[in-house]
Amino acid sequence: MSQRLRTAALVTLLVSGLSACGGHHSSGSNSTNFLIQHNAQFNDGRTVRWPQLPIPVAVNGLGTPDEVSAWTSATGGAVTFAFVGGPIRSGINMRGTQSTDACGITTVEYGSDGIITSADVALSLPIYRSAQCVSTVTHETGHGIGFLNHTANGGLMDDDGGNGQFTSEVVETIQSLYALAPGTFVGNAERPILGLSPKGKRTMVFVTYPRRR
């Protein structure tokens, strides 16, 4: 894909069954591989992130600043947020939905230049505050800042929320991502089989929990 061709992509991520969020723990990891797997592979090996900090966020009475700013604390300030009134188009915007298919759904829009232009977080009003959805806002914020896949390491960004904690791999991925400019080439990888559906100059990538068979 040409860097000059300003295509856009929508990444839709759903999660259910989240548990309480805690601090991160350290462990050995290859942050570059994780960055490719959970971010850059969705843009032909180039980073996808917000171009400037702080990232505007409109919680619209649905999330709390603490749930969002947990990412600031966990990453040592690698990402920061500015809380604004909403709804907003350019920024992370939270809204309610009556669907109970998942606790939350995040749609991230970005161009081939790697710049995120919007992140829509749809929270299931009937269930997102229920016991199985405790950390939905924090999890979905992770997708909104550029963590475009789910992990399988037992932590917050698993497709079921895992133990609700920030793992070192996730923390290092976001730290690495926001230390690089949008669109920085970090390496090729085969895109996962996730319901990739081109739509004109846009691409839809669906990551769901429970996973669709």
Confidence of residue 167 (pLDDT cuts 50, 70, 90): very high
Whether residue 29 lies inside any domain: the answer is yes
Contact 37, 29 (CB under 8 A): no
* Opening angle at CA 35, ends 45 and 91, nearest 5: 90
> How high is the pLDDT of residue 14?
54
Question: Mind listing the pLDDT tens digit for each residue in 147-164?
Answer: 988 899 999 998 888 888
Better pLDDT: 86 or 166: 166
Give the closest residue to 188 by CA, choosing from 80, 45, 13. Answer: 45
Question: Mind listing the pLDDT tens digit for each residue in 15-57?
Answer: 443 333 333 333 334 778 999 999 999 888 999 999 999 999 9
Could you count the other beta carbons within 10 Å of the beta carbon of residue 199?
10
Average pLDDT (6-11) is 48
Better pLDDT: 175 or 158: 175
The count of domains in the chain is 1
Better pLDDT: 2 or 174: 174
Lowest mean pLDDT, pick from 22-26, 138-142, 187-191, 205-209: 22-26
Whether residue 108 lies inside any domain: the answer is yes
Q: State the Cα torsion 111-117-122-123 to the nearest 10°.
A: 120
The alpha-helical segments, DSSP class H, found in the chain are 31-38, 65-74, 136-144, 168-177
Which CATH number characterizes residue 159's domain?
3.40.390.10
Whether residue 213 lies inside any domain: the answer is no
Question: Mind listing the pLDDT tens digit for each residue in 88-138?
Answer: 989 999 999 998 888 888 888 888 889 998 899 989 999 999 888 869 999
Whether residue 137 lies inside any domain: the answer is yes
Whether residue 134 lies inside any domain: the answer is yes
Tokens 């926001």 correspond to: 178
Tokens 């990551």 correspond to: 207
Domain coverage including residue 55: 19-207
Whether residue 175 lies inside any domain: the answer is yes
Whether residue 167 lies inside any domain: the answer is yes
Whether residue 33 lies inside any domain: the answer is yes
> How high is the pLDDT of residue 182?
96
Percent above pLDDT 90 for the chain: 50
